[in-house]
């Protein structure tokens, strides 16, 4: 299981503060976990995380390597708002079997199971890479990085962005990508014959067409230039194939 840190945001302005910053609608906290992201003003990825109600406070569940930087940025944005941000010792348990009392469903996809916050962490041994590859679910520090645009990473499909909630940091660029352009690049599930290290460049006819990331069971998550990603492609020693018609069938 990837290492996570849990921040707690408290104070009278916590929800309105978050609502003006993150890509999802914080009002949905009353329904359970919220998956969301914080972007740069230029619309690029800084961090993705889960938000959960904890009484009047809000817990923020983020990849450990991003926690310190995110805490500093939240503190910077706070200004005079009544919001306190602290690092906690809470941990995450997660699994795909029967959910224990108090667990919250992962909102990205039903197959991602549940998450439970408390004094003990743990994992039920689910094959998370296989589940993520099956549903093209990116992960912090692997498919998601400083050059990521969240729409190319599938955040709309994963419930990680809301186009009706109003302003947030990076909203203008994200909305323009949604309404005024056709995405030419993005994360897709590909077939992989062989294996290649995460981050291996994918080429076709000698031209770069993308990058291969997480792999499981003969498939992988790849970031592709969609106009070039045709026929047999190479990623190191592995052969990579993308079938856009299969995706169309799945969505149909």
- Quick one: pLDDT at residue 231? 86
* Structural Rg of the chain based on CA atoms: 19
Report the distance separating Cα 213 and Cα 192, nearest Å: 11
Indicate the fold that domain 4-178 takes in CATH.
Gyrase A; domain 2 (3.30.1360)
Q: What is the dihedral of CA 158, 95, 8, 40, to 10 degrees?
A: -30
Sign, CA dihedral 159-161-152-244, equals positive
For the chain, the structural domain boundaries read 4-178, 184-251
What's the pTM? 0.94
The proportion of the chain whose per-residue pLDDT surpasses 70, expressed as a percent, equals: 96
- Quick one: pLDDT at residue 9? 98
8: Cα within 13 Å, side-chain hemisphere: 14
pLDDT tens-digit series, residues 187-206: 999 999 999 999 999 999 98
- Is there a contact between 58 and 51 (Cβ–Cβ < 8 Å)? yes
Once rounded to an integer, what is the mean pLDDT over residues 214-237?
Answer: 95
* Phi, psi at 160, each rounded to 5°: -100, 5
Indicate the fold that domain 184-251 takes in CATH.
Elongation Factor Tu (Ef-tu); domain 3 (2.40.30)
| Beta strand segments in 75-218, E | 84-87, 91-95, 104-105, 114-118, 122-123, 185-193, 200-204, 207-216
The proportion of the chain whose per-residue pLDDT surpasses 90, expressed as a percent, equals: 91
- Quick one: pLDDT at residue 180? 80
Q: Do domains 4-178 and 184-251 have the same CATH topology?
A: no
Model confidence at 251: pLDDT above 80: no
Report the distance separating Cα 25 and Cα 205, nearest Å: 43
- Quick one: pLDDT at residue 2? 52
Nearest to 185 by CA among 235, 226, 244, 233: 226
- Quick one: pLDDT at residue 1? 45
* Phi, psi at 203, each rounded to 5°: -125, 155
Q: To which H or E segment does residue 211 belong? A: strand 207-216
């Amino acid at each position: 299981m990837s290492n996570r840190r849990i921040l707690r945001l408290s104070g009278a302005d916590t929800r309105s503060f978050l609502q003006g910053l993150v890509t999802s609608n914080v009002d949905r906290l009353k329904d359970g976990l919220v998956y969301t992201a914080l972007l740069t003003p230029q619309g690029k990825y800084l961090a993705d995380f889960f938000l959960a109600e904890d009484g009047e406070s809000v817990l923020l569940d983020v990849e450990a390597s991003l926690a310190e930087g995110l805490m500093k940025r939240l503190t910077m944005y706070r200004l005079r708002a009544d919001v306190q941000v602290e690092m906690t010792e809470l941990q995450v348990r997660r699994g795909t079997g029967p959910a224990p009392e108090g667990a919250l469903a992962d909102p990205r996809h039903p197959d991602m199971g549940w998450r439970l916050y408390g004094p003990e962490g743990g994992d039920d041994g689910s094959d998370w890479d296989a589940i993520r590859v099956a549903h093209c679910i990116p992960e912090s520090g692997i498919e998601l990085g400083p050059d990521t645009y969240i729409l190319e990473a599938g955040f709309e499909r994963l419930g990680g962005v809301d186009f009706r909630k109003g302003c947030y940091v990076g909203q203008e660029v994200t909305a323009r990508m949604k309404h005024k352009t056709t995405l030419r690049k993005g994360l897709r599930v590909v077939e992989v014959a062989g294996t290649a290290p995460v981050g291996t460049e994918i080429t076709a006819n000698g031209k770069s067409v993308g990058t291969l990331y997480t792999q499981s069971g003969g498939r992988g998550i790849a970031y592709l230039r969609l106009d070039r990603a045709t026929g047999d492609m190479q990623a190191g020693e592995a052969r990579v194939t993308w079938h856009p018609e299969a995706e169309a069938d799945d969505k149909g």
